[in-house]
Structure 1
């Protein structure tokens, strides 16, 4: 086979078949360390397009411009070996085959009913109105700073990371950034991956250039370092930089609490953790996200209801941290269209989030009904209180880039 220069694609001798190398990443896996079937179908569709682009670049160019297509149907069959080979070490049941026929469209806000029945043993029919991902990606070059405290490596976002407006959604940015920080620090200390922790808070600030510069395949540089290690918690800091200009595009922190999975309560770090990061013991504890007060009784609020689906539960058997950001953004997107906020209006998928701050207060579980309360704290800034009944679950603050020329449109990055 002929290998196309500068890429991971190979062409067959008759120039009719393109082959691409690909590795799934940690964030592609669910709580059972499977790649979910919807991720497989969506990702495979993109990989097919990328391979087809190798045969004829006009195809993908036309799909991005004048040629608009929708799927009529798709069918994928998986070998039982997929679940064993792609994620070694766990043998669980997975979807063997999925067939989909698209009949009508559904739109934002539509209420859909999913009917299902067992057609034959092991088969459900629904109708509706490279290395292992546990290892570091092969070929990634990690660089240590002179003081051996900061790890830097290259990363590129892919086509499937972008939403319908051509932007990377804020929940994808926060989740991916957290994973990348972990990947980097795990190169310094592999035992970090053995710790069981809950996220207490996280905060990420984005440069306006992030949305204009970052495209699929843009070369980025990721840096991560440990800022603080206490008795039961650690704080990590990270940056994503444009490799060509060295401009900081994303900067943030994340605080994790070491917990006992049995009691769901904090527990002290093991001795090796204290010894490894003893040099941080004399450093002052960095500022993190703190709880904000409830709005006064006269504040206009917009409320959005969410039922936690099974797919949002992670390996800690609770709602994964990134989904709360998605719930809050969806709340804001619906509210903005309905004129619920004085300055945050229009299609938020086309507007960039400047900063997101999240404080996790309680857990939620599969099937829980959550109420997302939202209000505009200041021009361009929305606050959210996620509740489960009377319990406060999560607080989120999102600041949007605005076009009014006010201070809310400016970023420190």
Structure 2
């Protein structure tokens, strides 16, 4: 990885492709794209003693003296057509990341994803994060220095992204079950947001390959994703059994809805919109193999 620090609150980094990034259609999968966005040299949201050396992937859990961390409440990635129109096997991604909103205990960070060689825009993302005290598990006020040092011109949002309105789940929605294993969790034993998206992607692919959807009939890897949004609503830890319901959004069948539950509790909601006019989407993949 290569990092360009414009300031403590605005920086760029180049990465990829990583091992196992590519799906069966030779594209960087949406959850791996989210991993690229999450992997950063940003420790602004943690409190780390000055003697601790900051290195890539040095997370708060590994820093002695850390008292707070940030947890994602909502994430949205918008993928531009150019993302689907170029080979990904040697694609290096540049991510420009900055703070776009400051609240009392939460903040937003925006990301612009580009082709590192051509500077062509490929995707954009926004994350709404909550600053949490590790010991008490309660929201923690943002540092005063953030308000002093982050330029008001940089804050392009007056309020955090509110998410989406999920329609009621149909009785005949497809149900997909998965277990959270040790390879799915971080050092807190929590499942990462990117893997929540993977669970939903797997549920959608299984539903399509089981002929449970009207406009999708094979693995979602063969469809061009336009936008994915995920709302985190509950804790998911190692050993949990998750059930993911999948169905098509009424009156907009190019969008899939997902509700993730743990027992009777809803722990996450997701929506994925696909390009309806793409040559690889919406019943134009009849020649593709099933899962």
Are 1:164 and 2:24 an aligned pair?
Answer: yes
- Further displaced range: 148-157 or 215-224: 148-157
From 173, 177, 191, the equivalent of 2:33 is 173
Equivalent position SS for 1:161: coil
Q: How many residues are treated as equivalent by the alignment?
A: 263
Q: Whose radius of gyration is greater, 1 or 2?
A: 1
How much has 1:263 moved relative to structure 2?
Answer: 2.8
Q: Which has the higher contact order (CA 8 A, sep 6+)?
A: 2
Match of 1:241 in 2: 114
Distance 1:266 1:245, change over 3 A: same
Are 1:399 and 2:273 an aligned pair?
Answer: yes
C-alpha separation in 2, matches of 1:141 and 1:177 = 13
Structure with a larger share of its residues in helix: 1
Are 1:211 and 2:211 an aligned pair?
Answer: no
Match of 2:218 in 1: 346
Match of 1:54 in 2: none
Equivalent position SS for 1:226: strand
- Matched-pair contact (CA < 8 Å) for 1:239–1:252: yes
Quote the RMSD (CA, aligned, Å): 3.1
| Aligned pairs (5 A) from 1:23-62 | none
From 263, 270, 275, the equivalent of 1:389 is 263
Match of 1:254 in 2: 127
How much has 1:319 moved relative to structure 2?
Answer: 1.6
1:252-289 deviation line (CA, Å, top 9, x unaligned): 10111111222322121233334333737986524514
Match of 2:200 in 1: 328
From 191, 196, 214, the equivalent of 2:69 is 196
- Matched-pair contact (CA < 8 Å) for 1:289–1:358: no
Match of 1:313 in 2: 185
Distance 1:258 1:141, change over 3 A: closer
- Matched-pair contact (CA < 8 Å) for 1:227–1:286: no
Distance 1:171 1:199, change over 3 A: same
C-alpha separation in 2, matches of 1:394 and 1:340 = 22
How much has 1:246 moved relative to structure 2?
Answer: 3.3
Distance 1:271 1:312, change over 3 A: same
Match of 1:23 in 2: none
What 5-or-longer segments of structure 2 have no aligned partner?
49-53, 61-67, 283-291
From 364, 375, 389, the equivalent of 2:247 is 375
From 15, 25, 40, the equivalent of 1:155 is 15
What 5-or-longer segments of structure 1 have no aligned partner?
1-136, 409-413
Distance 1:329 1:208, change over 3 A: same
C-alpha separation in 2, matches of 1:224 and 1:281 = 11
How much has 1:290 moved relative to structure 2?
Answer: 2.2
C-alpha separation in 2, matches of 1:349 and 1:396 = 17
- Matched-pair contact (CA < 8 Å) for 2:166–2:257: no
Instruction: Give the structure-1-normalised TM-score.
Output: 0.57
C-alpha separation in 1, matches of 2:10 and 2:74 = 21
Distance 1:281 1:157, change over 3 A: closer
Match of 2:227 in 1: 355
C-alpha separation in 2, matches of 1:394 and 1:402 = 25
Equivalent position SS for 1:341: coil
Instruction: Give the structure-2-normalised TM-score.
Output: 0.78
Distance 1:142 1:389, change over 3 A: same
